[in-house]
Amino acid sequence: MTDDPVRLKHRQLEKIAMAALRMARVLVECGARVRVVHQGATLVARGLGVEPVGLRTGYASQEITVRSGANTITRMMTIGPHGVNHRLDHAMRALAARVSKGGMTVDEVEAEMDRLAKTTPRHPLWLVALAVGMACAAFGRLLGIDWLAFGPVFFGGVLGQALRMFLHRRGVNSYVVAAAIAFVAAGTAGAGARLVGSTTLNLAMMAAILLLVPGVPATNAQTDIMDGYPSMGSARAVSVLMVMIFATCGVWLAETLLGVH
């Protein structure tokens, strides 16, 4: 019966559960650790009038069970590609805190999440590429490259970051992307350093791929394990390892083509 109060309650519970799961999903995709993800989902659920009974966050999916009186419901949601977006991460955390104070409906929460996803500002792609190239070159100097290799490393980093954004937008496998970036960035830096007469060819090729170092996932992997979420932490650690393996393959191919040993 459509007017059965139990069924109506379950439909409302489902909407709340999905809103809490969406908050959790966005936080995971922005690079938040599991404890923060669960806090965000819990704040949303409680702010909307229900009590979370259980939360599980995996690398590819997550689920939540919420309760209101004698009624409970469990729902699951997939997780998209993992990345790092601190602006959206903190905007979603602030929204969760607002929801926890009460006074918002499920539809209002969903609309606000839509708005944040669309309007949270991002740096221009060209600025990101230039900044990454400069960071690679600067770290290269710290590692010991000579000034002749500074320019080639900078251009290698810029090309690598531009390629990363181009391929990610087209949904290319992230590990294949890592190998392609390593090959292009290391190859560009190595060829350029050789052309200008640098004596630090190997270091230049290594410095150009520093943009691939998965610092946030690696830190989160350790934190999640220490916080008592070994499954997610282990999955993130394996992902970090896979990125480094594919990056190594890309550098090895570039070195082979350039005859660098």
We report the CATH number of the domain holding residue 58 as 3.30.1300
Question: DSSP for 236-253?
Answer: HHHHHHHHHHHHHHHHHH
**Which residue matches tokens 């007469």?**
197
Same domain, 129 and 115: no
Same domain, 137 and 237: yes
Same domain, 69 and 151: no
Cα–Cα dist 109/89, whole Å: 16
Cα–Cα dist 74/13, whole Å: 9
Cα–Cα dist 33/235, whole Å: 12
Same domain, 160 and 236: yes
Return the pLDDT at 1. 40
Return the pLDDT at 75. 93
Same domain, 187 and 101: no
pLDDT tens readout for residues 21-53: 999 999 999 999 999 999 999 999 999 989 888
Cα–Cα dist 179/21, whole Å: 33
Percent of the chain with pLDDT over 90: 87
**Could you give phi then psi for residue 253, rounded to 5 degrees?**
-65, -40
Measured between alpha carbons, how far is residue 36 from residues 25, 32, 42 in Å?
11, 6, 10
Cα–Cα dist 84/190, whole Å: 29
Measured between alpha carbons, how far is residue 64 from residues 25, 113, 146, 165 in Å?
11, 19, 54, 33
Domain tally, the chain: 2
> What pTM was computed for the model?
0.88
Range of the domain at 239: 125-258
pLDDT tens readout for residues 4-17: 555 447 788 999 99
| Minimum mean pLDDT range among 2-11, 79-88, 107-116, 151-160 | 2-11
pLDDT tens readout for residues 111-144: 999 999 999 999 999 999 999 999 999 999 999 9
Residue that is last in its domain, among 119, 141, 164: 119
Residue 168 has pLDDT above 60, yes or no: yes
Same domain, 95 and 168: no
